Structure formats: C-alpha cells, structure tokens
Chains A and B, each alone.
Chain A
Amino acid sequence: GDSVTQMEGPVTLSEEAFLTINCTYTATGYPSLFWYVQYPGEGLQLLLKATKADDKGSNKGFEATYRKETTSFHLEKGSVQVSDSAVYFCALTRSSSNTGKLIFGQGTTLQVKP
C-alpha cells in the first residue's frame, strides 16, 4: 500500500543553519505530495504542496521538489529560525482519490537553538 517515510528526529540546528528533512514515498500512480507543520499546542497546518513531477512547492522560505525518479519530496530551508521549531509531516494523497484522504509520514521534530 501507499506509504511515506521520513528521516528520524529530532533534528537540532542552530539559528541560520541549513535544513533538510528527507521524505520518500511509495505509491501507485501520481500522488500529490504535502508538507504539514505542527507547532506546539496547535493543529497541523499546510506548509507547501506539489501535485506533479518536478513541481516545486514553496512557502515561508521552505521548499520541496517532487522527484518522481527518486520518489522523494525533501524539505529544505536555507536559514532556519527559532520560530521554525515544530514537528514536520510529509504526506501524500492519491491523485485518483477525490476524498482528500492523506497518508502521513511519522513526523520529524525540528529544534532550532538561538
């Protein structure tokens, strides 16, 4: 079945460091891919998405490129801030599904220190 695998956390970085959180997926067809962020005490928020191969999603300085050849959707940010500390989830939904049902990775905790 469809699945999403993320790198183990927590990831601890100093402010202004470069961030990469790896995400790979297994799915039939051409899924849509997402990154969600969960700040402490809050619900998940959509960070960015990509719906077809080679698309690049971007938001708030974060970027991820849909790589079908490597079935990956790695999240990157050039310079992290303390306020980026949160849990990040990679997710997919089948393109053939119109229900919006999401399959999530296990989440990666990011801790940014001043």
Chain B
Amino acid sequence: GAVVSQHPSRVICKSGTSVKIECRSLDFQATTMFWYRQFPKKSLMLMATSNEGSKATYEQGVEKDKFLINHASLTLSTLTVTSAHPEDSSFYICSAKTGFSSGANVLTFGAGSRLTVL
C-alpha cells in the first residue's frame, strides 16, 4: 500500500535556529499534502495544505512566514520551522491523498516528527 515517510522522526534544536522536516510519498505521486500539528493530549490541528507547484494554503492563525512549506515535486513536501522557539515544540505530521473510495478521499499519514526546541 501507499507509504508516506517523514524525516527526521525526532529533532532537537536550539532556540533561534531553523529546522526542516521532509515528507515523502513512496511509490506514488502526491499532488496534495497536508501538514498537521499535534499537541500533547490534543487533537491534530491542520496547519496548511501543500500543493505541488504552487503556494501552500495556510489555515487561519498559522504564521506562513514562520512555517515555510515547499512542495517542489510530486513526491516531496517540506516544512521549515524558522527561528524556532520553545513554544514551537510539538509533533508535526504530514499526510497525502492516496485515493478515493466510496465517496471519500483516502489519506495516508506519515509517522510524524517530534520537534523539541531548547
């Protein structure tokens, strides 16, 4: 079946530095990917929709200059957390549309990337 790979799975960085997280679709092309943020004991919050070859669509309240999304190819989307601060520490998850079944889009999720900003 379709697999979405995220890298790195864990990253620790110093405050003020930038961190890039990659989301790759293996063995399939993903024109649309989604980036979520998951807080402890909280739901997944959709941050943005990443479209191959065009600008990402950000959800209300998400700083697009803070969370840079690039979807330069049909198999790779990247999320860069710029000038990271401790409050950016979180679990970031990507997903990709992998099909359509019984009237609904099918999404495949990556295993997530845990960011810790010191």
Contact digits for B95-118, partner A, Cβ 8 Å, 1 yes 0 no: 101000011111111111000000
Is B46 part of the contact surface with A, judged by Cβ < 8 Å?
Answer: yes
A32-B104, A100-B34, A100-B97 are known contacts. Are A106 and B111 too (CB-CB below 8 A)? no
A99 and B102: CB pair below 8 A? no
Distance A107 CA – B36 CA, assembled complex (angstroms): 14
Q: Which residues in B have their C-beta under 8 angstroms from that of A82?
A: none
Distance A93 CA – B97 CA, assembled complex (angstroms): 13
Q: Which residues in B have their C-beta under 8 angstroms from that of A89?
A: 43-44
Q: Which residues in B have their C-beta under 8 angstroms from that of A101?
A: 34, 46, 49
Q: Which residues in A have their C-beta under 8 angstroms from that of B44?
A: 44, 89, 102, 104, 107
Q: Which residues in A have their C-beta under 8 angstroms from that of B97?
A: 99-100
Selected from B4, B36, B102, B104, the residue in CB contact (under 8 A) with A93 is B104
Selected from B42, B46, B105, B111, the residue in CB contact (under 8 A) with A41 is B111
Is B56 part of the contact surface with A, judged by Cβ < 8 Å?
Answer: no
A43 and B34: CB pair below 8 A? no
Distance A4 CA – B108 CA, assembled complex (angstroms): 20
Is B69 part of the contact surface with A, judged by Cβ < 8 Å?
Answer: no
Q: Which of A30-52 contact B (CB under 8 A)?
A: 32, 34, 36, 41-46, 49, 51-52
Q: Which residues of B contact A (CB under 8 A)?
A: 4, 6, 32, 34, 36, 41-46, 49, 93, 95, 97, 102-112
Q: Which 4 pairs, one residue from A and one from B, show the smallest C-beta to C-beta distance? A: A100-B105, A51-B103, A43-B109, A44-B109
